[in-house]
């Protein structure tokens, strides 16, 4: 069964460092998302991406964050200068195009980011 | 007011019990509704979509009341493997962002 894959599974970084989290969405999917979940809190939407551009972003997704689909398969989330409060599990997700789309999000297993 | 509100629990029930979770949402423009399940430190996984007519999948029954902006999940004959956090999730379209509730934790005991 096709799945969304994410790397790294866990990254520890120092405050102020840049971090890139990588995702390979399911190959025929067209819509891509990043969500995050701070430990003990709810899953929060960060950004959605379609047709090589951001379609929607949340208040959390400020200038420190950026997304990119550099090569048609990878979908990356970059945090330019990490803060302690960026420590969280970051989930990548994807869905097919509108045809046959049930609205179900297909999540990767997540990348745990720890900022020291 | 939170966009999606759930009782966080925990709900501690014996095996075989019936348990019900409730959820309310604030945005009347919401169009898609789901229950997801999340095991500890894992990714959320779709349990079932929720339709206005109500729907059932084995031991799980979901109901949607658009007038009251209320969603429910009923689990019959609880199994130990049902222990997890159940997330109420709402969206405005099938491609837009999904809003997650805080989740309701269920612990099924032998």
Residue B40 C-alpha, separation from nearest chain A C-alpha, in angstroms: 10
Best B3, B97, B99, B103 residue to mutate vs chain A (most A CBs within 10 Å): B97
Mean pLDDT to the nearest integer, B77-98: 91
B11 in the Ramachandran plot: left (φ > 0), alpha (ψ -120 to 50) or beta?
beta
Would you say residue B55 has pLDDT above 80?
yes
Query: CB-based contacts of A116: which residues, under 8 Å, 6+ apart?
Result: A12, A13, A14, A15, A84
User: Torsions phi, psi of B82, nearest 5?
Assistant: -80, -10
Mean pLDDT to the nearest integer, A90-106: 82
Mean pLDDT to the nearest integer, A40-54: 94
Please indicate whether residue A114 or residue B53 has the higher confidence score (pLDDT).
A114
**Nearest neighbour of A104 by CB, restricted to B46, B100, B103:** B46
Q: Tell me which DSSP letter residue B81 carries.
A: G
């Amino acid at each position: 069964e096709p799945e969304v894959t994410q790397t790294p599974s866990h990254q520890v970084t120092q405050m102020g460092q840049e971090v890139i989290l990588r995702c390979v969405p399911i190959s025929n999917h067209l819509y891509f998302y990043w969500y995050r979940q701070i430990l003990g809190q709810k899953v929060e939407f960060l950004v959605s991406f379609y047709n090589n551009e951001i379609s929607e972003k949340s208040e959390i997704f400020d200038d420190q964050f950026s997304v990119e689909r550099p090569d048609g398969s990878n979908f990356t989330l970059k945090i330019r200068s990490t803060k302690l409060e960026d420590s969280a599990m970051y989930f990548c997700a994807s869905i097919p195009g509108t045809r046959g789309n049930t609205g179900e999000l297909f999540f990767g297993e997540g990348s745990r980011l720890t900022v020291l | 007011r939170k966009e999606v509100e759930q009782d966080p629990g925990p709900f501690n029930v014996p095996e075989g019990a019936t348990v019900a979770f409730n959820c309310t949402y604030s945005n009347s423009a919401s169009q898609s509704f789901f229950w997801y399940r999340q095991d500890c430190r894992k990714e959320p996984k779709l349990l079932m979509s929720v339709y206005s007519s109500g729907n059932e999948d084995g031991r799980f029954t979901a109901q949607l009341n658009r007038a009251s902006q209320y969603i429910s999940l009923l689990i019959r004959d609880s199994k130990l493997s049902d222990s997890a956090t159940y997330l109420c999730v709402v969206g405005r379209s099938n491609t837009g962002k999904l809003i997650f509730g805080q989740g309701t934790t269920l612990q099924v005991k032998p």
